[in-house]
Amino acid sequence: MAAVVAATRWWRLLLVLSAAGMGASGAPQPPNILLLLMDDMGWGDLGVYGEPSRETPNLDRMATEGTIFPNFYSANPLCSPSRAALLTGRLPIRNGFYTTNAHARNAYTPQEIVGGIPDSEQLLPELLKEAGYVTKIIGKWHLGHRPQFHPLKHGFDEWFGSPNCHFGPYDNKARPNIPVYRDWEMVGRYYEEFPINLKTGEANLTQIYLQEALDFIKRQARRRPFFLYWAVDATHAPVYASKPFLGTSRRGRYGDAVREIDDSIGKMLQLLQDLRVADNTFVFFTSDNGAALISAPEQGGSNGPFLCGKQTTFEGGMREPALAWWPGHIAAGQVSHQLGSIMDLFTTSLALAGLTPPSDRAIDGLNLLPALLQGQLMDRPVFYYRGDTLMAATLGQHKAHFWTWTNSWENFRQGMDFCPGQNVSGVTTHTLEDHTKLPLIFHLGRDPGEKFPLSFASTEYQEALSGIAQVVQQHQEDLVPGQPQLNVCNWAVMASLRQGTQWHLLYRGEGFRPPGPCSWDS
């Protein structure tokens, strides 16, 4: 037992040294890294976060055996930019995953997008390969459709999944169904070889993604260290689950999808334990953005006590569930109040591998190992971007809104409601409101729902504004925006493959549309 304790202390010391850029000769093999990224799952969707149905026993157990982060954020309230931020450790405004077609517009990577992850960006799997990692992505890529954006060109050794979400079905004329790939080969399409029954919600995709993960872990567990990025999308509307889980949740079809994901994660964690590699595998669970309340309750989740949801820079759009698990290293039953970000997974993973982040660019992610292993809290701001615009910033317990907006009156009147039942006068606005001269400031500890802005005349407001203003000014002075990747759309670039084994482009649409600016409504 003493030897185990000594070894654990040495490994922790090694991690601290690695995080500081210091090496150690004869270092043990770095740990495996398993990142579990959910799609549109909200802060309030897990039992450990207060969901009353308590239908996530495996994730709840993961929390009790590890660390829970109640203050963890995505880098954007939409999927593509958030995923780009995770894999680069950089805000979307830096890595190019934003649009300048309109002020403060959300944007992503539909099939007709021309842009994608730039070659100039260094992605996490590329860097981990320097430390001998084998890398795989399972599920949703969402960083571009064209050949130069393929995940195997950006550091992944293997891929099973899709360049997009499971939107559809389409008629394969004006728009093809979304393809599914194994590495470079297209093995089918959603709604065709990979059926999704929109009427019943039945689909076997989560089971397929689970088996892919189990097979990969079994193959690699005793070989080289592995990095597995499990990015499933069952909780993105239209939500789906396999037949054994349909109708089993008190929360409806969305709950069925959550239950199946929870069961799948339980099987992965159990396999790590059965293979006796759990103590050498760092596991982190989170989501790409807040729950899509526009699809709730049947097709969307819960953001708990927070305001609004996906697409907005209120807390419900960007605060995420987050769990860290590493038996023998991360103490059980811990709650970390560290302000965390999805970008921290980039820097933390590099530290686990004994690597330092690239020094030739700004990196926004922090190394969370001091918080996880030693309980340290590090001061850092959280920036809330919507497209090209810094909408808000949090420092400590205070959040300042420089702009407020949910969506346009036009879209709202058509039934698109990002904040159902949560109207806050002067806050959840349907026009883009400028507060840059006198920001709205909320104390998130006392007012997590952002309902009661501080009085402009209060001492607390003035002190909070002073601190946040300094941080924001420094951020904006240092900011070098990346070339925007989400400006141009062209229907002729839809990734398509009927035969063969190579990823290539084949336009098979009708009603040709010339290239032009993408139209983003919100």
* Residue tagged 């420094």 (tokens): 474
Query: What is the Cα 249 distance to its own chain's centre?
Result: 25
How many residues can be counted in the chain? 522
Mode of pairing for the β-strands spanning 67-68 and 334-335: parallel
Tokens 């996490």 locate to: 124
Out of 79, 165, 308, 518, pick the active-site residue. 79
Look at the alpha carbons of 200, 204, 209, 214 in this order and tell me if their dihedral is positive or negative. positive
79 is catalytic: yes
Taking alpha carbons only, the member of 359, 329, 336 closest to residue 122 is 359
Q: Rounded distance, CA 435 to CA 405, Å?
A: 11
Q: What is the DSSP letter of 131?
A: G
Helix H or strand E encompassing 86: helix 79-88
Q: What are the beta bridge partners of residue 281?
A: 32
Closest Cα to residue 80, out of 108, 40, 39, 114?
A: 108
Given its phi and psi angles, is residue 465 left (phi above 0), alpha (psi -120 to 50 degrees) or beta? alpha
> What tokens does 100 get?
């300048």
DSSP-derived pairing of the beta strands 226-231 and 32-38: parallel
CB 391 within 8 A of CB 403: yes
Q: Is the peptide bond before 297 cis (omega within 30 degrees of 0)?
A: yes
518 classed as catalytic: no
Chain center to CA of 80: 9
Question: Residue 412: helix, strand or coil by DSSP?
Answer: helix
CB 83 within 8 A of CB 119: no
> What is d(CA 61, CA 518) in angstroms, rounded to the nearest whole number?
44
Bridge-based pairing of strands 440-443 and 398-401 is: antiparallel
Q: Which two tokens stand for residue 73?
A: 């954020």
Q: How far apart are CA 422 and CA 317, in angstroms?
A: 13
CA distance 239 to 241: 7
Decide: helix, strand or coil at residue 160.
strand
Look up residue 454 and give its two tokens: 């501080």
- Binding-site annotation: residue ranges: 39-40, 79, 288-289
Can you say which residues are annotated as belonging to the binding site for Ca(2+)?
A: 39-40, 79, 288-289
Closest CA to 320 of 337, 301, 303, 299: 303
Q: How far apart are the first and last CA of the chain?
A: 57
The span from the CA of 493 to the CA of 512, in Å, is: 11
Would you name the residues annotated as active-site residues?
Answer: 79, 142
